[in-house]
Structure 1
């Protein structure tokens, strides 16, 4: 099984167009690496690929990855899109895939309902191309083809739902992908508020875990004067701190851990920062666009 990080930043990318924080300023000056918005592609054979989330940068991301280029005519290696939630930075890219002859979509019923009746993204897309929806139910393995399967698992969140009541189960999920031939497992968890026992059970034994790295500290955006909410209030467990993700790495039992969905304010985006050094010393990695993983 192969995974390609198409975009490693959180919504808005890095640098974010309207942000002059220290990290964005450093990236603009060439002291940091620019990143597009969060999305990955997975494949069991390097011929057929599935996206997990479709960011607003999807066209640029596809062009940057030859594995997703058409082989002739308009036959694409893209076989489907899996969604972790209905956030705009994870779904607006669906509209940019409207030239497809048909688009296969995998999501929970709660996410599907929000895309239809809340944001209207799916209703708009259906005016351009057929959408073949496959419901994913937490705890159930869904075959994707070529020996690859996925299992969605619920990620509890108290983040306010912008569209709808937010009461439906499955509003936010992670994915555990399995190569049925080798048994290798990979976890993708770009948004997690807390590593609950139920979440830990689903990522147990993953050879590689790509996990939420949105903010370094819980008060990061508040301290910079950029927002009035903490990282956890926005649905993301911070990386640093005594109860952050980094401190819990030894108990996650994952051979390789990569932080993804990195907010433009997060100092681990800078190679020479103390926070990046702490990540490296803990044995983890910081994702960059174009990173490839084989499991």
Structure 2
């Protein structure tokens, strides 16, 4: 299995266009040791030719330009993308769909009923695509038991499970969470038996999740914030990380502690907010992660399982 990180940042990317926090200002001025990142997305292949795209960030066109296997190489109009798996309906994970509107081949979209509802009502991106390339929508089961394959995605099998989270602000049920607003997914290479757990929106380790994490050879999870009060401390938001559905890395019950039991797996943080000090490669926070065997994803990162 080949996993390629197209984008590793949270919504807004790094640096964020309107942010002058120490990280964003330092990156622009070249005064910190860090690299820019586009908004969160990965693609996965079992044969190096056919790829499943997980989420479509607003930066998808640049991400495709930066990764040749997704580019047209077999005909005049073509792509290596055989399916698009939407983890949730958030802006930073779905807006790129509009950039993929060209052509006559329908986009193969895999998502839960809740995500489909949000993207046909509150933010009707899928309806808009229907006036261009069109879509074939496939239901993603969320019971954690039903695995499925994506045609063309050689040697890959997917098992999704519902995660506790909030729907996007434009969702008809924004204040009434439903199972399927966000999912985590176990991706298995049926040829090698290797597995990757992917959940860029993991707010907590719920009781039903450890069996999935224990199977994984690679765990890619939410790396949004270092502390629970990161945004409050900078005067950028009144809510905490946990309030908005993100498990901070540090502190009691944080992601570092949560991942400590899974020593078999390679552990990687993705969906990293521009304010997070782990973006600075020589920071104490990055060193702390390294001591616990946790990596920080970056654009262009390749994981082979």
Q: Give the TM-score taking structure 2 as reference length.
A: 0.94
Give the superposition deviation at 1:254: 4.4
Partner residue in 1 for 2:58: 56
Q: How big is each residue's C-alpha offset from its partner over 1:244-282, in whole Å with a ceiling of 9 and x where there is no partner?
A: 101222213542000000000000000111100001111
Q: How many residues align?
A: 295
Q: Distance in 2 between matches of 1:257 and 1:13?
A: 22
Q: Which residue of 1 aligns with 2:121?
A: 117
Q: CA deviation at 1:182?
A: 1.2
In structure 2, distance between residues paired with 1:230 and 1:29: 29
Q: Secondary structure at the match of 1:210?
A: strand
CA-based RMSD: 1.3
Alignment partner for residue 84 of structure 1, among 68, 83, 87?
Answer: 87
Once residues 129 and 265 of structure 2 are traced to their aligned partners in structure 1, the CA distance between those partners, rounded to angstroms, is 39
Q: Is the 8 A contact 1:159 1:234 kept in 2?
A: no
Asked if structure 2 preserves the Cα contact closer than 8 Å seen for 1:150 and 1:177, the reply is yes
Distance 1:40 1:88, change over 3 A: same
1:150-229 alignment runs, 5 A limit: 150-158=158-166, 161-165=169-173, 166-229=176-239
2:41 match: 39
- Look up the match of 1:282: 292
DSSP-derived class of the 2:209 partner: helix
2: CA distance, partners of 1:38 / 1:160: 16
Consecutive unaligned residues in structure 1, runs of 5 or more:
none
**After the TM superposition, which of the residue ranges 142-151 and 34-43 deviates more from structure 2?**
142-151
Q: What is the alpha-carbon distance in structure 2 between the residues aligned to residue 118 and residue 231 of structure 1?
A: 24
TM-score using structure 1 length: 0.97
Secondary structure, counterpart of 1:18 in structure 2:
coil
Aligned to 2:102: 99
Cα distance 1:178–1:127, how it changes in 2: closer, same or farther (>3 A)? same
| Structure 2, gaps ≥5 residues long | none
